[in-house]
Amino acid sequence: MVMDYRLRGGHETCGPWFEGRCGTWDESPTESAYPGQENQTKGTGTSTLLEIVDKVIGYVLKPFCKQVAYIVHYKQNVHELNHSVELLGREKERLKHQVDEADKNLQNIEGKVTDWLWKLDEFESEFEKFKNVEGHTNSRFPHLWNRHRLGRQAKKMTMEVKHLVDEFPKSDEVAYKENVTSNVVTFV
């Protein structure tokens, strides 16, 4: 059998320029042209060399691809962030309506809801600062550092939005009624 050495997999952030260069080596045996012949690379050191190349690719090329992806996918990251924040704003509005309804019904608001709204307000102020950065207008070729920084920040903020959405309180967790232990009504 002859060993077939090919790159397998790929890094999802590498994009079309690095496609196939961010994977790991696949040592899968294929059919040999000579039936009955054993693997001739066994014990020759080729597998050791490929292991070294695989480690170099893992430690050098993958992180490089990740950093380049922030530059290449800058607009996509910012667009995804804007879309996620828009959806988060709708969820906030829906939750505020539920809180207002609970207040009208004299129900107490859960602490989880007030904490989530506070976290969301903090995130919105951080997002406003991100939108007002001058680097968005200068995100062309000469300003690669700004493009990298803002692309990376947009990606991280998108992850924060996903985390906030995961923590979003369910509709039955918004408010609760306080148990009344006495039937006595006091008039003032």
Contact 84, 168 (CB under 8 A): no
pLDDT surpassing 90 at residue 159: yes
Residue type, 184: V
Which SS3 state, helix, strand or coil, does residue 34 take?
coil
> How many Å from the N-terminal Cα to the C-terminal Cα in the chain?
95
Q: Calculate mean pLDDT across residues 74-88.
A: 92
For the whole prediction, is pTM greater than 0.75? no
What pLDDT digit, counting tens, does each position of 105-156 carry?
888 888 888 898 999 999 999 999 998 887 666 555 557 778 888 889 999 9
Extents of the domains making up the chain: 2-65, 73-176
